Amino acid sequence: MLTFLGRGSAFADAHNCAYFIRGKELVLLDCPVTAFLKLKHAAFLKDMDVIRILVTHMHCDHVGGIPLMIHYAKYILEKPVKVMAPSAGVAHSLNLLIDEIEHCDKSGYSIQMPEEYDADFLAEPILTLHVDALGGSYGYHLIVDEREIVYTGDTRSLDAFLPFLHKHVTLYAEASAGERDSGVHLYLEKVLPQLCTLRKSGVQVYLMHLDNEENTRRMIDGTGIELAPLAE
């Protein structure tokens, strides 16, 4: 199971960010500024030996807190940060942000490509469709403690994730329930029948990256689909 520091979309007060802990490692899925501000006050952070960040794409509500986390981990916690990029293109963009713009101390972090991942859990990037101009948005297929997880990141289609979805898999899917379909996110009114079918087939479905929680709660009432669980 993932725990969320926030489950909101771009204009929310708490941006979408999930995490899990493996021994003395904290693993984040993206790191917006709002997540960094919460983690800074988290009692467990000082007990971690390593901080990993799995990156889905380069929008600021997903990566804006990464340089802050690296600075904080280096100068306050004295811990390394391993930034796990899903592709060469994302790795290049991360290097521009972390090194050339923020000038983070190179001894405080590393950027890893999928073939360089040194985690003791499976993290398989899944290329998906989000914003065409972005040049690449990814979800992840994870296996953590024998639990299989599919995390969509930001996407406008479930198609790339369907081969990984079967009974006993946990799906964390983004969902937009705003007044109009932006065309770059999963619009809940359209995708809800597909999510309900997945739920009936044995897939546990949690919704995240929400732009309207009230509408989302109303629409999923009685379906067995739930909102992503927030940290206490």
pTM over 0.85: yes
Structural domain range at position 157? 3-227
Nearest-angstrom CA–CA distance, 153 and 175: 10
At 133 the pLDDT is 87
CATH of the domain at 37: 3.60.15.10
If one counts the domains in the chain, the total is 1
CB distance 185 to 176 below 8 Å:
yes
Question: Strand, helix or coil at 154?
Answer: coil
Q: Residue 127 has which token pair?
A: 């290329």
- CA–CA gap between residue 117 and residue 119 (Å, rounded): 6
pLDDT < 50: residue spans in the chain: none
Q: What is the pLDDT of residue 12?
A: 96
- Determine contact, residues 163/197, Cβ cutoff 8 Å: no
Length of the chain: 232
Element housing 174 (H / E): strand 170-174
Q: Is 232 contained in some domain? A: no
pLDDT at residue 192, rounded to an integer: 98
In a domain, 10, yes or no: yes
Packed helices 213-220 and 188-200: angle between N→C axes, nearest 10 degrees: 40
| Whole-number pLDDT of residue 24 | 97
